[in-house]
Structure 1
Amino acid sequence: MTLGEWQRLIARIEKALTVPTTDGSALRTTRTILREGLDGSAGAKAFFRDCISEALNRAADDVSAVAPETEQVHDATNLVVCAGLHYLENPGATLHQAIEANYEEDVSLFNFISDVFLQHVKDALEEDEELGLEAQAEHEKIVEVAQRVCRRHNIPYALYLADLRERSGSRYGGLEIDADADDSDGLEYFRLPIPEISPAERRAELLADAQLHAESEHRAREWLRDDREACAIFGEDAHYEWDLRDYDIHFLFTCYCIDLTVRLYREHEAQKTETTEQSAPTAEQISAVVELAERGIARELGATDARHHYTEEETAMMKTRFDNARAGIAAITTLSTRSTETVQS
């Protein structure tokens, strides 16, 4: 979304916050409406809710207009509006309570996410006793000790491995750990079975198999239920116990857009306030100007020579200038009073 589109969206929200009252009276600020709502006025509270409802609905329409045209985006924007209004009347409510209060059945905000399914598989494999990270570390230690012993006895590791897997021990069954050699720390690992596929490789194969079934929730749960090895590793109940859903990406995008809208709107309001504060003179500045102006008038009057005969034109010009000066002082004084009232409100 471009900056111009966001600015237009902010303008529409700002406009919605200043809609006329139902009785046709003058516009009221959000601050006034909030104060009346806190004082217990039912009409003001209803108006405030309607005001927010219109702003949220307009924001949802504008976000939907620039977001991908999908059912998920439409559902997400609708939920944000409904949940926001529900939170307004029920500050302690949760999202699930807002959904229950506004929808007869669940909306499609929680969808199957393949990454969630694959993360479940990865986590379970890494914690597995035979295929997990600890099993891989033990496997690497067994291999490292066997290779060390073979090098010390000048025996090809591949031949030793073949003999070990055949379990005949006919050729290299006599190899032993030398307690005085450097490989003595591997006594507990020597001659332990070394499978053809390491735990890490088997984990990768199972994860790749899971990826083939990650296209839909139905296929993922079917694989967890029907695949014999998956069932043995993940448990017979994984196919219905695992939560494979999460917030839909379009819903999260919509929430991000609305959050960004709120932040931009607040920045816009803050900039307006800052500009107003910088441009408006303070009460002290106005008072100083008024005081200097009054002194100037007094000096001007004092400099007038009563003995001098002024023409009618000169007299009229002097009167007009003094009248304008007094009117200006009165206007500046009024401005000072309004500025003080604004700061206090």
Structure 2
Amino acid sequence: MGYTFTLDDVRFLACERGRAALAALADRPLTAATRLADVAAARSLVGDDRAAALLETAVLRRRAAGRLRWADDWLFTEDAVQQATATVVAEHRARRLADRDVHDLTCSVGADLVPLAASARRCLGSDLDPVRLAMAAHNAAVAGVAPLLVRADAVRPVSRNAVLLADPARREAGGRRTWRPEELAPPLPELVAAARGRDLVVKAAPGLDPDLVPWAREVELVSLDGGVREAALWSEGLATPGVRRRASVLGGDGSAWELTDADPDECPVREPGEWLVDPDGAVVRAGLVRHYAARHGLGQLDPRIAYLTGDRPPQGVRAFRVLEHGRYGERTLRARLREREVGRLEILTRGVSVDPDALRKRLRLRGPAEATAVLTRIGDTPVAFLCEAERT
């Protein structure tokens, strides 16, 4: 468990002396090995009473850097950092809600609230935790926006006609992840009941089973820089007509593209071509592999496997040029790797029960070359592809 902040801590950290102390601490290593020295430095700056809050904030800012745009100047709790939406993802969602009245029911320290406030017509944020609300007020001011903030229970919305946004906590006591809607905090069924008759969007874990949320007319899987970040559940009034599933693929460089189940999905099952393509995780989780293949002129190796193949990969993706392929056997693979003098091997698996780390140790790799082994199956046959990974 992290440090428990108080309202006095927030006021101190936001004042001129607190900001100066945080700036002085920002250049320290802040590692486990330097913990004692870092604590001593914090105490020398602000005394014993404020040292823990100061040091915790410096560590949390370091943890949030690269994910939250204003991390160097924001205030956080440990739980808030763990669950905070990356700014690129939050802005993506905010664009879809632009020029509307929006109420962030679980605003926490403002990771979603701030982008919403920058584009919504009017924006309200609420939370039960007064410390997080105070941090949200500070963080919004740093970002140059001023949403209305109020202490309120998410399952008792204090707004009337605004679109409702909720991000229920996905961790139980002890840090164990939960995927069950009724075990979220607040419970998702209670949120949905409280929002009856209102437009609602819920940020959920990407592993959530869509069958458990039948009220969601559109399920959007969102990835950022190749990692699937969340599933966004959109109610009927917010869903795009004719779309039930969407994959939104975002890049930290500002790139973005989308794919939906309204797009064509006709693609062949074909023999392996010159290239293998592993679609972005958002595409796979959204069940849009065939749609992706149809868009880019690719085929499936097997209708039940997400690896795609073709003679020309899409632009801007990491694809795998096939050097050779054949039935998978560990001895055969070891022999082929020795012949090619492969000393560094990336192992990708899908549809086969293989532990890549354990296999890599057994292969006893030696040599200057590097390669990628893609282990999968075609029909009931396990197949190994030796490839060179390239950025197209």
User: How would you bin the TM-score normalised by the shorter chain?
Assistant: under 0.3
TM-score of the aligned structures, taking structure 1 as reference length: 0.25
Q: Which has the higher helix share?
A: 1
Q: Which has the higher strand share?
A: 2
TM-score of the aligned structures, taking structure 2 as reference length: 0.22
Larger C-alpha radius of gyration, 1 or 2? 1
Q: Looking at both structures, which has the greater relative contact order when contacts are Cα pairs under 8 Å and sequence separation is at least 6?
A: 1
